[in-house]
Each structure stands twice: as structure tokens, then as C-alpha cells.
Amino acid sequence: MEKANTAALEALLGHHFQRPDLLHRALTHSSRAREQEASAGGKIIDNEQLEFLGDAVLGFVTSEELYRRYPEFEEGHLSKLRAHLVSGRHLVRVARELDLGNYLSLGRGEEKSGGRSKAALLVNALEAVVAAIYLDAGLEKARELILQRVLLPELRQIPGGTTVPITDYKSTLQEVVHSTGHAQPSYVLVKEEGPEHRKTFTVEARLHKGGGEHHPEFVARAAGPTKKRAEQEAARQALEYLGSLPLPASKSKHSEKSQ
């Protein structure tokens, strides 16, 4: 990474690193680290541990901000809103606004395969950068970045935090099931019909309780011109089902006590 590039990124982040090695590490993909190890020997540290820490810092700051901002919201609503704010599809937009792809240190294979524009790599790098700032300057500086770059621009688009914009129902469903005690949803192609140029695909999204019982608790069925479209519609139906569930008993009791 060139010095000018580092300075430009630091300007976008609003933070000048006292330990530039942390920023370098946050932008070093495992493919590059393994290449360097093979050629130079010794252990080269990539951004995976920073990504792990950054994910936790991001989740904490987001939870705290939502708790402070929306004291009237139930736990389920807060969980859905947090899931949206820390989702890959949202974070990748932030990473692209910061132009993180241009600063990544990638191995040759990852470079050739378009790694600088891959959503997963960009999201991981963003989480690693959050951790790097946290380690370099503390929680308040990391909070400042998260609020200004991740949370506030999106929350301004959600009036009162009441309507979470969803464009990828499958990703949202995958995140929401964590807060409802369900296992990850499964998608099953149950029917494929029509001529080759005008096929219709019918897909089921199946929800199981966390224990993974043999019979699904809920099955959503949808048809579409592609499997992807059918899966998205089935996931949308499954989200509606989860949204209609009553609060857990422990939450209900808590609500009664507070009345």
C-alpha cells in the first residue's frame, strides 16, 4: 500500500493511525498473507482476527445506539433493525463508499478473480478496519466511525425506525432466525415446469426450530421465473410468519411486570 493511499483512506475514515500496522493488517486478505509466507517464510498476519473483533464492536455499538434511540421498541423489533444495519448487503455499501476495494492487499489469484469488488471481502475488510480503529484509539473513536458511516445515514432513511427496508429477503431471514430460536432456513425446489425458455420454478422455504426437528414448523411456497426469484418470495413469506409470532413467554412476563 502506498503512503498516499493510506492517507487518503485515513481521511475518509476520519482517523490518523498512531499504529499504521493495524490499518495495513486490516486490509491484508488471507490470500496475500499466504503468498508472502510461501515466498518469504515466517507467519504473516491477515485480517481475519480483526474481522472477528470488528464484528463484535459493530454489533455492540449498533445495539447500544438502537437501545438508546428507540426505548419503546420490543426486543424483536430491535433485533430485526440491528440485523438490517449489520447485514452484509448494508455494510458492503458502506465499504464501497469508503472505496475499500482499492486498498485491499490481495493474493494474485484473488486479484484475478475480481476480489476487489467481492462483497464478502469488502464487508470483512470494513469490520477489520473498525477493529483496527478500536485498538488504535479506543471505543469512542470506533463508535464515531460506526455512527457516522454505518448507522446514521441508514437510520435517517427509516422514519422512526418503524420500517426496515428489505431488498434481499433471504439474507434478512438468515439473520432474523437467530433471534427467534430457529435453525437456518432450507430451500427446496419442489417443481419445475414449462418450456425451456419460459420455465416456472416452485420453491419451498422451510423453517425448523433450533433443535432441527424432522418436521418443519412452517413452510412457505412460492413460484417464479427463476429459482432465485422464487426463493426470495418464499423467504418474504417466512419473514411475515416470524413477524406474526407472539413474544416469548419470558418477554411477555417482563412486559406484564412493567405495567
Instruction: Please tell me whether residues 31 and 152 are part of one structural domain.
Output: yes
**Where is pLDDT greater, at 89 or 101?**
101
Q: Give yes or no for residue 106 having a pLDDT over 80.
A: yes
Instruction: Please tell me whether residues 140 and 242 are part of one structural domain.
Output: no
Q: Which residues are catalytic?
A: 55, 127
Average pLDDT over residues 194-199: 83
CA 73 to chain CA mean position, Å? 22
Q: What is the pLDDT of residue 250?
A: 41
Average pLDDT over residues 196-207: 90
The pTM is what? 0.65
Query: What is the per-residue pLDDT across 135-174, written as a single tens digit (0 to 9) for each?
Result: 999 999 999 999 999 999 988 877 666 666 656 788 778 8
Instruction: Please tell me whether residues 155 and 176 are part of one structural domain.
Output: no
Q: What is the pLDDT of residue 43?
A: 79
Q: What is the pLDDT of residue 126?
A: 97
- Residue 259 in any domain: the answer is no
Per the structure, the complete domain to which residue 193 belongs is given by: 169-249
Average pLDDT over residues 225-234: 89
Instruction: Please tell me whether residues 148 and 37 are part of one structural domain.
Output: yes
Q: What is the pLDDT of residue 259?
A: 39
**Where is pLDDT greater, at 50 or 182?**
50
Last residue of a domain, one of 106, 126, 161: 161
CATH number of the domain at 16, please. Answer: 1.10.1520.10
How many CB atoms within 10 Å of residue 213? Answer: 10
Q: What is the pLDDT of residue 80?
A: 81
Q: Give yes or no for residue 201 having a pLDDT over 50.
A: yes
Last residue of a domain, one of 143, 161, 179: 161
- Residue 258 in any domain: the answer is no
How many domains would you assign to the chain?
2
Query: What is the per-residue pLDDT across 80-90, written as a single tens digit (0 to 9) for each?
Result: 888 889 888 78
Arithmetic mean of pLDDT over the chain: 85
Instruction: Please tell me whether residues 134 and 30 are part of one structural domain.
Output: yes
Beta strands in the chain (DSSP E): 186-193, 200-207, 218-224
Nearest to 64 by CA among 124, 147, 145, 123: 147
Average pLDDT over residues 179-198: 87
pLDDT band at 74 (very low <50, low <70, confident <90, very high): confident
Q: Give yes or no for residue 123 having a pLDDT over 70.
A: yes
174 with 184: CB under 8 angstroms? Answer: yes
Q: What is the pLDDT of residue 212?
A: 56
Residue whose entry in the numeric block shows the C-alpha cell 455494510: 91
Q: In the sheet that 218-224 helps form, which strands lie side by side, from edge to edge?
A: 186-193, 200-207, 218-224
Q: Give yes or no for residue 257 having a pLDDT over 80.
A: no
Instruction: Please tell me whether residues 189 and 81 are part of one structural domain.
Output: no
Q: What is the pLDDT of residue 251?
A: 43
- Residue 254 in any domain: the answer is no
Phi, psi (degrees; rounded to nearest 5) at 166: -125, 125
Instruction: Please tell me whether residues 156 and 179 are part of one structural domain.
Output: no
Instruction: Please tell me whether residues 193 and 242 are part of one structural domain.
Output: yes
- Residue 256 in any domain: the answer is no
Instruction: Please tell me whether residues 234 and 131 are part of one structural domain.
Output: no
CATH number of the domain at 202, please. Answer: 3.30.160.20
Query: What is the per-residue pLDDT across 18-49, written as a single tens digit (0 to 9) for each?
Result: 999 999 999 999 999 888 878 777 778 899 99
Last residue of a domain, one of 109, 144, 161: 161
Give 49's contacts (C-beta < 8 A, 6+ positions apart).
none
Q: What percent of the chain has pLDDT over 90?
A: 46
